[in-house]
């Protein structure tokens, strides 16, 4: 064992020296001369643009898309639309992604627009319309938008002009400032008239019974969940989150006015500190019942909103949506006190 250890010692020494010599010959000087990664042109704006364009180019095994072109503060030439800058706004720039394979060429323009979301959206919507851009063909009977809370998180729509089509999207950034995105595509896309379907299937039961509920001025509504069927085939609901210092009672009264304008008749209701609710008779001969609730959510100045409609039970075995302690116990989260 001693002999074997000594032999390893003497054999290992020249081998280690050989490896160190090779490291110095092939890599040592180069590594020593290389600057650290964090010091490579951090203030170079051209490097920032090159990095962003490289990151925006999708990479797949065996193929890569052409690099995107970034134009800070500029619009590309040859756009099929004159894009204005809203008074008090600014043009941040644009990105041009060349066509690759089946993917068409795409241009995205980014702007800031002052005012509330509706003002910014209407300004650019008029810009499209004044230049002859129109809504895509529906290809069938028009479908009414689903009722419920109209969120102010984002407003978007699509326009057509010949074979070109564009998407307009507006999203609030901060108070009084909106992010405007205009995406221009060169292929027909949704602007190609589709083949009309043989028949338009009816919407879900109750989906058309809730009116569209607009928020108060200055109140932002975020999506609180997609409109969805509840309680089986005989119900429909809409949820949202309101960012405001208005109390649940104030918000319930505001939305109640819109329900009354749509023909809903209030049958019960109560404001109880962090919760405000009301029960409604929905117009029609099918015995639908409506329910509106507003309650304080987690975090500061957050109010959880829910509006729903339910049909009368179809059989004695259906779910009983009765009351507990005199309050409607309809399945929402969190439930009203007393349920």
The answer to whether residue 299 scores a pLDDT higher than 90 is: no
- Cα separation, 275 vs 303, in Å, equals 10
Pairwise pLDDT comparison (325 vs 234), residue with the higher score: 234
For residues 173-202, give the mean pLDDT. Answer: 73
Q: Among 32-41, 117-126, 142-151, 187-196, which stretch is predicted with the lowest mean pLDDT? A: 32-41
Average per-residue pLDDT in the chain? 74
- Cα separation, 139 vs 164, in Å, equals 18
Q: Decide: helix, strand or coil at residue 37.
A: helix
In tens, the pLDDT along 196-225 reads: 555 545 556 677 888 888 888 878 887 775
Buried b / exposed e along 47-72 (16+ C-beta atoms within 10 A): eeeeeebeeeeeeeeeeebeebebbe
- Cα separation, 336 vs 304, in Å, equals 12
- Give the chain's domains with CATH numbers: 66-137+149-191 (2.60.120), 212-328 (no CATH)
- Cα separation, 121 vs 171, in Å, equals 9
In tens, the pLDDT along 62-100 reads: 555 677 889 999 999 989 999 999 999 999 999 998 876
Most confident listed range (98-112, 276-290, 315-329): 276-290
**Residue 52: closest CA among 117, 114, 96:** 96
- Cα separation, 180 vs 234, in Å, equals 39
Query: Can you list the positions of beta strands (E) in 131-163?
Result: 148-149, 155-161
- Cα separation, 80 vs 77, in Å, equals 9
Tell me what percent of the residues of the chain surpass a pLDDT of 70.
64
Query: Is the overall model pTM greater than 0.85, yes or no?
Result: no
Bridge partners (DSSP) of residue 212 are 148
């Amino acid at each position: 064992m001693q002999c074997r250890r000594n032999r390893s010692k003497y054999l290992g020494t020249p081998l280690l020296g050989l490896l160190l010599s090779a490291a110095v010959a092939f890599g040592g000087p180069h590594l020593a001369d290389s600057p650290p990664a964090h010091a490579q042109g951090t203030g170079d704006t051209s490097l920032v643009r090159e990095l962003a364009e490289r990151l925006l180019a999708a990479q797949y095994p065996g193929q890569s898309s052409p690099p995107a072109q970034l134009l800070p503060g500029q619009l590309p030439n040859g756009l099929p639309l004159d894009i204005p800058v809203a008074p008090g706004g600014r043009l941040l720039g644009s990105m041009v992604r060349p066509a690759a394979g089946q993917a068409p060429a795409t241009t995205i323009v980014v702007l800031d627009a002052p005012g509330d979301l509706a003002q910014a959206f209407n300004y650019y919507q008029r810009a499209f319309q004044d230049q002859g851009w129109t809504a895509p063909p529906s290809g069938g009977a028009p479908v009414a938008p689903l009722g419920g809370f109209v969120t102010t998180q984002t407003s978007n729509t699509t326009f057509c002009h010949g074979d070109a089509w564009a998407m307009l999207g507006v999203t609030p950034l901060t108070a009084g400032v909106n992010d405007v995105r205009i995406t221009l595509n060169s292929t027909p896309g949704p602007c190609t008239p589709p083949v009309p379907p043989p028949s338009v299937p009816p919407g879900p039961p109750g989906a058309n019974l809730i009116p569209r509920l607009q928020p108060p001025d200055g109140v932002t509504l975020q999506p609180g969940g997609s409109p969805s069927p509840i309680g089986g085939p005989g119900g429909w609901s809409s949820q949202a989150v309101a960012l405001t210092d208005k109390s649940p009672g104030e918000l319930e009264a505001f939305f109640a006015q819109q329900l009354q304008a749509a023909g809903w008749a209030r049958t019960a209701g109560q404001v109880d500190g962090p919760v405000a609710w009301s029960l409604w008779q929905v117009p029609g001969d099918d015995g639908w019942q409506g329910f509106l609730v507003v309650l304080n959510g987690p975090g500061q100045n957050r109010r959880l909103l829910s509006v729903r409609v339910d049909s009368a039970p179809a059989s004695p075995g259906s779910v009983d949506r009765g009351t507990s302690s005199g309050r409607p116990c309809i399945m929402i989260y969190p439930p009203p006190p007393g349920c």
